């Protein structure tokens, strides 16, 4: 699990001039990145890891299956561009 940096983060972190936005702030090193941006970056990273893991599981399990679900799995992997060996 990734470290959740948003837990301690707040917009304007490092600001000591009592500004209410980046436009007013003149502090060097102050971080006005919206909290949501950090949250979305973390989510994207986590989702990519889970997606890669799911793809590996699909590849492995479909290799040893001869059912309709195998065809569906190949169709899905082809759709997302993760099927190297076409069948
Ligand atoms: Zn400031």
**Distance from C-alpha of 48 to C-alpha of 4, rounded to nearest angstrom:** 16
CA 27 from centre of chain: 30
Please tell me whether residues 38 and 24 are part of one structural domain.
Answer: no
Please tell me whether residues 43 and 28 are part of one structural domain.
Answer: no
Q: Kindly list the protein residues that place their beta carbon closer than 5 angstroms to ligand 1, a single-atom ion.
A: 15, 17, 19, 25, 27, 30
Kindly give the distance from the C-alpha atom of residue 56 to the centroid of ligand 1, in angstroms, as a whole number: 47
Kindly give the distance from the C-alpha atom of residue 10 to the centroid of ligand 1, in angstroms, as a whole number: 13
Please tell me whether residues 9 and 46 are part of one structural domain.
Answer: no
Helix (H) or strand (E) holding 26: none
Please tell me whether residues 47 and 85 are part of one structural domain.
Answer: yes
pLDDT digits (tens, 9 = 90+) for 10-58: 999 999 999 999 999 999 999 999 999 999 999 999 999 999 998 888 8
Please tell me whether residues 63 and 26 are part of one structural domain.
Answer: no
Kindly give the distance from the C-alpha atom of residue 11 to the centroid of ligand 1, in angstroms, as a whole number: 11
Say whether pLDDT at 6 is over 80. no
Range of the domain at 9: 1-33
Please tell me whether residues 56 and 20 are part of one structural domain.
Answer: no
Instruction: State residue 71's pLDDT score.
Output: 80
Kindly give the distance from the C-alpha atom of residue 17 to the centroid of ligand 1, in angstroms, as a whole number: 4
């Amino acid at each position: 699990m990734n470290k959740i940096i948003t837990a301690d983060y707040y917009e304007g972190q490092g600001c000591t001039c009592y500004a209410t936005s980046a436009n007013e702030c003149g502090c060097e090193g102050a971080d006005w990145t919206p909290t949501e941006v950090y949250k979305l970056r973390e989510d994207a990273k986590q989702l990519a890891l889970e997606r890669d893991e799911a793809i590996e599981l699909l590849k492995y399990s479909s290799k040893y299956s001869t059912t309709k679900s195998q065809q569906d799995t190949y169709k899905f992997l082809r759709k997302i561009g993760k099927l190297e060996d076409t069948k």
